[in-house]
Amino acid sequence: MASVVKEFEPLKIRLDELKKATNSFGSKVIGRGGFGHVYEGEVSHSKGRGLVAIKRLSREYGQGDPGFWKEIMMLSRYTHKNLISLLGFCDEDGERILVYEHASNGSLDRHLSSTTLMWTQRLRICLDAARGLAYLHDPKGFQQRVLHRDIKSGNILLDDKWNAKLSDMGLSKIGPANQQHTNVFTTVAGTHGYLDPQYLETCSLTKESDIYSFGVVLVLFEVLCGRLCTEKANGLLKCFVHMWKESYKCKKLDRIIFKDLMPPMDPTSLETFSDIAFQCLHYSCEQRPTTSRIVKKLEIALRFRSKREGTKRKEDKARKAGGKLVHFDGSNVFTADDLLRASVEMTSKSTYGFNYKATLENGDEVSVQTWSEYITKDGEYEVELNLLGKIRHPNVFAIRAYYLASEQEEYNHLVFYYMPEKSQLSVFLHHWATRMQIAKGVARGLHNLHTHHKLIHGNLTSHYVLLDENNNHKISDFGMSRLMHAHVNSHHIAADKTLGYQAPEVSKLKEVDMKTDVHRLLGPSLS
């Protein structure tokens, strides 16, 4: 212990200075708990002088040396913008005092029912906390990961700009970071309502135990429901987690969502958010998502937030794209940052991602299709996209650009000129003469894809035949396409299962070829 004390000697703050800042711990209390009291005051510390949070640990409730020194070691060695910073400590005269950066907006639990904390801000807070937890679970440059062990809304602090920071590492445990699954057998500790059921049963703490607790905060839904997960009634502690999970399973989230969030919430944002939160609460640890996946899903939920909540923050506008953008059209060129900062409105959802309308900051509108990064293969996907981008035909909807995501991003993007839904073929299926004209145009486009580009569409329905401003019918949506070599006659792909369009051989063999495209052309799309 002596070596530990010596290592952190520069962080020591004299007791008399802390007493002076808090009127001898007689006022300026900003928090109370089983650990003791938290005060605010102005002191000199390792990073200068300023307003700080001063946590005076209580020996009466067992807050002794182990948790005290553990928190000092953790917060000194593991630093991240979404972890609360330790600025100093005091261990004089039997006192155990920790000094942190001041989070002027307090803890998240105090704001759950706030009518001014709108959906977008709640998403940002969750995303910040997820990034902090992701760092603890997979710290760069460290041999050991940290299992927080007490994730709850009361331990998520908010600074003056509403940036969220994880706090209270006194119960944390460490384990090897080079193992996919880290198990630490320990006495169960944490907060009722947030505890992982498997941890309760086995005393085996894993990083997935933190994931479960985080799911309770995310949705379970405290952020979504605007209330804590537990409530005392008639001397008993009532937990709402089971009820909230059932509401999700029955697709009745509207019954539990905080009423002041309902009007402006974007449905795609809500769905993305609630889906990942529910996954966190899966009973099986193996079925829970990683922190990196949680971060990616929350980024998507934030992107699809409602535009009715006002303009974007400067932080959003400063976002930098880490991927690669390639243009095939020299006119109206936009940057990758322009694309990722665009306001979006989802038009449909596919197996692989989303289709949405994006409005760039200059007012231009584009149509975008996305694919998850996991379906791509090194080099192959980019070669395919470059070939697709070269397709130019009056009856084929040309690709305008594509964006390949970086490792930190969830989706790749295909960009087209925007075509409103009223341009879809299904809107114009009326007169026989019109149908014949449409069929000829689509046939010419399909012939071009088959003979000149060796490309199978694999997903041809009336929904993906669009009418441009010159009344040309264009085949769109190459999301299911796979370029094939000239000697290959068929291709195994995850063919679309739209009722009535699928060729019989596809149902049996799970493969498509040029003939299945023809079946779709001559099938119900024109009947």
Annotated binding site for ATP: 55
Tally of residues, the chain: 527
Q: Are the CB atoms for 172 and 74 separated by under 8 Å?
A: yes
Q: Are the CB atoms for 297 and 272 separated by under 8 Å?
A: yes
User: For residue 445, what is the DSSP state?
Assistant: H
Q: Are the CB atoms for 193 and 239 separated by under 8 Å?
A: yes
The CA-atom distances, in angstroms, between 189 and each of 55, 149, 205, 222 are 20, 7, 10, 21
Give alpha helix (H) positions in 91-177.
119-137
Annotated binding residues: 55
User: For residue 107, what is the DSSP state?
Assistant: B
User: For residue 393, what is the DSSP state?
Assistant: B
Helices 514-522 and 432-452: crossing angle, nearest 10°?
170
Q: Are the CB atoms for 45 and 52 separated by under 8 Å?
A: yes
DSSP per-residue codes, 73-89? HHHHH---TTBPPEEEE
Measured CA to CA, the distance from residue 347 to residue 357 in angstroms comes to 7
150 catalytic? Reply is yes
User: For residue 480, what is the DSSP state?
Assistant: T
Measured CA to CA, the distance from residue 350 to residue 340 in angstroms comes to 20
Which of 150, 266, 496, 517 is the catalytic position? 150
Measured CA to CA, the distance from residue 149 to residue 205 in angstroms comes to 8
Instruction: Rounding to the nearest 10 degrees, give the CA dihedral for residues 506, 507, 508, 512.
Output: 10
The CA-atom distances, in angstroms, between 321 and each of 302, 354, 479 are 16, 19, 23
Place of tokens 């970071």: 177
Task: At 328, give phi and psi (nearest 5°).
Answer: -110, -5
Cβ neighbours of residue 276 under 8 Å, at least 6 residues apart? 218, 289, 293, 294, 297, 298, 301
Measured CA to CA, the distance from residue 292 to residue 207 in angstroms comes to 12
Q: Which of 324, 518, 14, 375 is nearest to 526 (CA)?
A: 518
Q: So which residues are the catalytic ones?
A: 150
